[in-house]
Amino acid sequence: MVYNRCGKSGIKLPSISLGLWHNFGGVDIFDNCRKLVKRAFDVGITHFDLANNYGPPPGSAEETFGQILKKDFAGLRDEMVISSKAGYYMWPGPYGDWGSKKYLVSSLDQSLKRMQLDYVDIFYSHRPDPETPLEETMAALDLIVRQGKALYVGISNYKADEAKKAIHILKELGTPCIIHQPKYSMFERWVEGGLLDVLEDNGVGCIAFSPLAQGMLTNKYLKGIPEGSRASKGQFLKPEMLTEEKLVTIRDLNQIAGTRGQSLAQMALAWILKDKRITSVLIGASSTEQLDDNLKTLKNLNFSKEELKKIDGILG
């Protein structure tokens, strides 16, 4: 594993981190969840990313993770970086959604109970709230650190101008924002239009979520939609997103990956990690084989100018 400094903070994150959004819920097979977390840690993936609402049902991924920690990771807490978030709908009424101090503080208390932890390493505001003053959301993050419930704070899904303001407020409060978690992949390149510059200018790290576009940027869907795959479940990755046009693009990218001696998943991850402003790619996985495939990414993170040009041409 290669560990990269997260912005200008004191911590380093693995180039590849594991997210528990899918495949770790109460509906999933506990033994598989356990195998995944153990395998990840064994290959040097020290960072595990959660959120209050991961499941299904919401909250159950944190419970699963808590049970795994208890069973298999006794004495290893100090070798792990664990994150959680609040910002999306979690419970009924006006206090279980968005960015108020009331929601963020109580949600983290609940997350800690579910994971059976005293603190998380990173706590995020999961999305900006257009109604709550940004000052309040950032003050909640600052408070949480002062309460000892998180060591560091970050923001997720904030656009470049929103991120700039949030980073500034946190700096004034004395609790620096160390990381931003945006969606970034070959299919979702919005961060290139300003956000990455803001992060670099302010010494903030970047962890890219859904770097495989939920599995589209792998060889998984080249021959149809396999049973049990995320697209077959149809909730977050809808089969209609795999249009003929998209499949042509995926096939063309797969060919270039072949010429590089990589799987498409490996090339898609390497393509993000080639930018030194990226601290880590935050992948999901449903099997240890996928983890192993993705890990081999680190063998080749270099692209020739011609390869990059070809890829840009395919992506259009």
Name the residue nearer to ligand NDP (CB basis): 283 or 311. Answer: 283
**How many chain residues interact with ligand NDP (CB under 6 A)?**
30
| 213 binding ligand NDP? (CB under 6 A) | yes
Task: Give the separation between CA 67 and CA 31, rounded to whole angstroms.
Answer: 11
| 167 binding ligand NDP? (CB under 6 A) | no
Q: Mark residues 222-261: x for contact with ligand NDP by CB under 6 A, - for none.
A: -------xx-------------------------------
| 121 binding ligand NDP? (CB under 6 A) | no
| 46 binding ligand NDP? (CB under 6 A) | no
CB of 306 to ligand NDP, least distance (A): 25
Closest CA to 83 of 35, 30, 36, 149: 149
Name the residue nearer to ligand NDP (CB basis): 2 or 222. Answer: 222
Reduced to 3 states (helix: H, G, I; strand: E, B; else coil), residue 5 is strand
Residue 102 has, within 13 A of its CA and on its CB side, a CA count of 10
Residue 14 DSSP label: E
| Paired strand residues for 5 | 12
In 10 A of CB 90, how many CB atoms?
20
| 22 binding ligand NDP? (CB under 6 A) | yes
Closest CA to 257 of 184, 310, 203, 194: 310
| 132 binding ligand NDP? (CB under 6 A) | no
CB of 40 to ligand NDP, least distance (A): 12
| 211 binding ligand NDP? (CB under 6 A) | yes
**Stretch of 7-15, 100-108, 214-222, 271-279 contacting ligand NDP, by CB under 6 A:** 214-222
| 19 binding ligand NDP? (CB under 6 A) | yes
Q: Which of 53, 125, 132, 214 binds ligand NDP (CB under 6 A)?
A: 214
Q: What kind and span of H or E run contains 86? A: strand 81-86
| 294 binding ligand NDP? (CB under 6 A) | yes
Which residues have C-beta within 8 Å of that of residue 270, sequence separation ≥ 6?
A: 262, 297, 300, 301, 303
CB of 147 to ligand NDP, least distance (A): 23
| Paired strand residues for 188 | 185
N- to C-terminal Cα separation, the chain = 32
CB of 126 to ligand NDP, least distance (A): 6
Angle at 76 between CA 146 and CA 10, to 5 degrees: 45
Q: Which of 66, 108, 215, 295 binds ligand NDP (CB under 6 A)?
A: 215
Angle at 58 between CA 57 and CA 63, to 5 degrees: 90
Residue 8 DSSP label: T
Binding site for ligand NDP (CB under 6 A): 19-23, 49, 126, 156-157, 181, 209-215, 218, 220, 229-230, 265, 282-286, 290, 293-294
